[in-house]
Amino acid sequence: MIELGLLAAVACVVFVVVMVLAALLKTLFWLVLLPLRLVLSVILLPLLLLKVIIGTLLFVVLSPIMIVGLVVAAIAAIVALAVPLLPLLLVAFVVWVLLRATSKTTTAIAR
């Protein structure tokens, strides 16, 4: 049992050493590549501004078109849901007409 505990402790120590070396390597790469990242960010800044300008222009131009498309799609969806209910509406209307025709009583409001 002692051997198993010793083996687990050695595994933990190896894991810690590997993680420390990985962190050091990551830090080294970050420091070495920092000047390159700074130079590229300065060079590519005009392209980023151009991307923002083009994106804003496309948003302004395409927003009304998208709104009209969404309104048309909503109307089409409402019609698609309402059309199957038309036979039930017709039956309800016929029942209402028959009940109204057979009713003899009128109110003062109806005159």
For 46-73, the pLDDT digits (tens) are 999 999 999 999 999 999 999 999 999 9
For 15, the enclosing helix (H) or strand (E) is helix 2-82
- For residue 27, being part of any structural domain is answered with yes
Query: Which domain range does residue 6 map to?
Result: 2-102
- For residue 109, being part of any structural domain is answered with no
Tokens of 7: 């083996």
Gyration radius from the chain CA atoms: 38
- For residue 8, being part of any structural domain is answered with yes
- For residue 49, being part of any structural domain is answered with yes
Q: What is the pLDDT of residues 69-88, one digit of tens each?
A: 999 999 999 999 999 999 99
- For residue 61, being part of any structural domain is answered with yes
- For residue 76, being part of any structural domain is answered with yes
DSSP, collapsed to helix, strand or coil, labels residue 109 as coil
Domain count, the chain: 1
pTM confidence score:
0.46
Q: CA 70, CA 12: separation in Å to the nearest integer?
A: 59
Tokens of 82: 């309402």
DSSP, collapsed to helix, strand or coil, labels residue 105 as coil
